[in-house]
Amino acid sequence: MISRTRFIALLLLFCCTLPAAAQKPKLVVGVVVDQMRWDYLYRYQDRYIADGFKRLLREGFSCENTLIPYTPTYTAPGHTCVYTGSVPSLHGIVGNNWYSRELGRSVYCTEDDSVQTVGSTSTAGKQSPRNMWASTITDELRLANNFTGKTIGIALKDRGAILPAGHTANAAYWFDNASGGFITSTFYMQQLPQWVQQFNARKLPDQYLKGNWKTLFPINTYRQSTADDKPYEGRLNGEDNAFDHITESLTNNRYDVFRHTPWGNSYTFEMAKAAIEGEQLGTGKATDFLALSFSSPDYIGHTFGPNSIEVEDTYLRFDREFATFLKYLDQKIGKGQYLLFLTADHGVAHVPAFAQEHKIPGGVTTERNLRQRLNDALQQEFNTANIVLTIYNDQVFLNNDAVAKAGLNRSAVKTSIIRELLKTGAVSKAFDLESINAANLPEKLHMMVVNGYNQRLSGDVQYIYKPQWFDGGTTGTTHGLWNPYDSHIPLVWFGWNIKPGKLNRETYMTDIAPTLAAMLQVQMPNANIGHVITEITSSQPAAK
């Protein structure tokens, strides 16, 4: 017969061998830096401080070779892919805008006329996630905890806040140029919470603009950038394109210019802290999710290009503010109690004139010019006007009514379009989207085109630009292509249950959501095609 003392000892031993209850982070913070090329993690590292990006890389786990697995690489599909683990072919967000044959017009990714603006008299709040077909990891987390956890999305751009927050979010907030504050829509609520009203009442954008944009360091020390006053850089509100950027006296487009300054990042960080405190995120029994997108780097990068002093100064400032935000999370949520990831929705190309300045081939064209060229050639060949209806996202849409009325063979028309596109100096490949497998594309490019092709929403003929060519103007730059400068993005994991390390094998933007799902022990999003990055919790130590 077992003694009472021995029985208790055996019972305790048995209990100790049972798996411990799975602990979860109090808060997940998703950080998407709009237009952050992967190399920005390292390019300005000599002046990054110890507790910003360097801390992220030192204490976190970096997936160094993370790629976007579809084209086009724009903001809306990028944010959607991060949070759905899916691609435009399946989640339905094929661009920032696309042409709808059903509606006969352009569609904006988050437009929704069934809702109204909350927090302003403008129409900027008539937005929702209804155009996104798939669920997000933020949706799945809310479903798993029976809606007891909170999800909040914040960005200057509406699409940067709405799409990551998902369909079931408690709120998404974005910046309104009319009021100079954060707004939302009746999709989420009927009135702004008191904490948002109080935050808007601080009028922080006005305070930031009074300071003018001056470089953080003496301008002659910005050695990672071109000279300040380059003719191929854009301008802020018609002013010259050199420092100092005088913003205190702005009257026209005041808040639009604000978006194009580093203070847009400062403002987003402040709103993030206000949301954590106003919604008491990270204090409940269920895991909360704060989805942040920093839009200003994209506005600045488009205007000045990735080799500008403006971009360098933006990231030096962002590094310091990010360090402050991490310390805030350490104190407010608890070090090791929150899970954070940092990534980007896309990268960016060099300004073509900059590339040419350094003997790198490149150039620009415009969709308008391509459309006119195609229609002129097709009219001459088929004696029919306006065969090309429109061009969106590097895809040609046929005017089906004109083709049918003239009794033309669609295949013959598409063959002529392809032939004419290949005559241009900008295009390297063109092919029929209904016959992608016959296009003889390199394997990686084939995957990206297939993942970006949506039978309901895409066009008839796709063309691929030569490297360093794109649809644009004579100043500034853009993104949207398959090339590594647009598709190679940072991905760093930090905080709860993350061991320091680096991974150099290929990972994909689609892997972020299923990895979060595995870590949080919730179902992956319903259109997910990504894979769990298993190395992030069983990694080798990072290099010192």
Active-site annotation, residues: 75
* Helix (H) or strand (E) segment spanning residue 197: helix 194-201
Give the distance, in angstroms, between the CA of residue 282 and the centroid of all CA atoms in the same chain.
24
The dihedrals phi and psi of 117, each to the nearest 5 degrees, come to -70, 140
- The CA distances from residue 43 to 38, 116, 182, in Å, are 9, 43, 33
SS3 sequence, 84-115?
HCCCHHHHCCCCCEEEECCCCEEEECCECCCC
CB 350 within 8 A of CB 226: no
Q: Among 230, 213, 243, which Cα is nearest to 317's?
A: 213
CB 33 within 8 A of CB 473: no
Q: Which residues pair with 185 in a beta bridge?
A: 117
Q: Which residues pair with 427 in a beta bridge?
A: 465
Both tokens of 388, joined, read 């090309």
DSSP state of 537: G
Q: Which long-range contacts (CB under 8 A, 24 or more apart) does 530-534 make?
A: 530/85, 530/86, 533/63, 533/503, 533/507
The contacts of residue 481 (CB under 8 Å, 6+ apart) are: 71, 72, 73, 349, 394, 464, 465, 470, 487
Q: Which residue has the tokens 């990534």?
A: 343
Q: Among 544, 539, 531, 540, which Cα is nearest to 66's?
A: 531
**What is the number of H-type helices and E-type strands within the chain?**
20, 21
The contacts of residue 334 (CB under 8 Å, 6+ apart) are: 26, 282
CB 270 within 8 A of CB 308: no
Q: Among 476, 242, 241, which Cα is nearest to 354's?
A: 476
Q: Which residue has the tokens 């969106």?
A: 392
- The CA distances from residue 204 to 209, 244, 290, 325, in Å, are 9, 20, 21, 18
Q: Is the peptide bond before 244 cis (omega within 30 degrees of 0)?
A: yes
What is the DSSP annotation of 351-414? PHHHHHHTT---EEE-HHHHHHHHHHHHHHHHS-S--EEEEETTEEEE-HHHHHHTT--HHHHH
Query: Strands (DSSP E) along 413-531, which ranges?
Result: 427-432, 461-465, 469-471, 488-489, 491-495, 501-503, 507-508
Neighbours of 288 (CB within 10 A): 28
Length of the chain counted residue by residue? 544
